[in-house]
Structure 1
Amino acid sequence: MEKRVDINETAPQAYKAMYALEGYLATTQLSKTHKELLKIRASQINKCAYCINMHTTDALKNGETPQRIFLLNAWRETDLFTEEEKVILAITEEITLIHNHGLSDEVYKKATQLFDESYIAQLIMAVVTINAWNRIAISTNMQIEK
């Protein structure tokens, strides 16, 4: 792939703003498992190899199982994920694919039965943030380290 602009080098203030979002997410109630699952799933949908590689590696380091990672794109067809995780994955998919119909009332209602408003807000911000990172990585041809 052709080398493209390095935004971190060329526009460091933009990266600083993105890292501020990551800093916020690090202070939230979101569990590492929840954060990594939604980051991997959004990155799969967006076909961001750089982020898939990063977040599957991080998830494995945090104790996630290879089997759950392998089956993440088919989460609806397995009982390996908790009810909470399934709602988080549904939120992730609907926000990532916002052009389809947005975050549906059905999924949002399920979320309100499992999480408080603060946790839901944190989930939404985590999904928005990984989608932004995916777009940066894909647009700039960021390459995974071998």
Structure 2
Amino acid sequence: MERVNLGKAAPALYQGVMELERLVSAALADAGIALGFAHLLRLRASQLNQCAFCMRLHARDALTSGESADRIAVLPGWRETAYFDATERAGLALMEAITLVSVGQVEDAVYAQAAAVLSPAQMAAIEWLAVVINSWNRIAIASRYPVAP
């Protein structure tokens, strides 16, 4: 069934999300969060949301930003690996908690763990990134953006 393409149906709203993405990307850079890791954060949220379009996009972006194929491959099981440092682990946990907000409402323990190793600027940037990537996932899924080889 043909779906409404949200970007084409409401271009001003789509451009609003694009502007939010631009602002979030700047906040991530200002907070010292590496571009490659920012794509891994986007990728992790997209995996949780099962957004194939965004998974492919951010896996490719992570690779071109210098992330290793190994870190991309183990991302769903990041807790079981030594591929991510304490700061990255806190960022991943925070991203997951916000993406899965209906499960635990971003539990205090996750937030406290993140706040123990992330600066307030890093916390805010990651939280805003969660807002925007979850928006993109919903746009792509609702519009059924095509994912083919």
Q: Same fold (TM over 0.5)?
A: yes
Q: Which aligned segments of 4 or more residues in structure 1 are displaced greater than 6 angstroms? A: none
Aligned residues: 145
Identity %: 36
Q: CA deviation at 1:3?
A: 2.7
Q: CA deviation at 1:92?
A: 1.0
Q: Report the counterpart of residue 111 of structure 2 in structure 1.
A: 108
Q: Is the 8 A contact 1:34 1:88 kept in 2?
A: no
Extract unaligned runs of 5+ from structure 2: none
Output the TM-score relative to the length of structure 2.
0.92
CA–CA separation in structure 2 for the residues paired with 1:122 and 1:104:
18
1:9-39 Cα offsets, whole Å, 9 max, x none, are: 1100110110011110121123212311110
User: Which 10-residue stretch deviates more, 133-142 or 30-39?
Assistant: 30-39
Output the TM-score relative to the length of structure 1.
0.94
Q: Report the counterpart of residue 121 of structure 2 in structure 1.
A: 118
Extract unaligned runs of 5+ from structure 1: none
The answer to whether structure 1 residue 6 and structure 2 residue 9 are counterparts is no
Q: CA deviation at 1:145?
A: 5.3
User: Which 10-residue stretch deviates more, 128-137 or 24-33?
Assistant: 24-33
CA–CA separation in structure 2 for the residues paired with 1:19 and 1:127:
14
Q: Report the counterpart of residue 68 of structure 1 in structure 2.
A: 71
Q: What letter is aligned with 1:27?
A: A
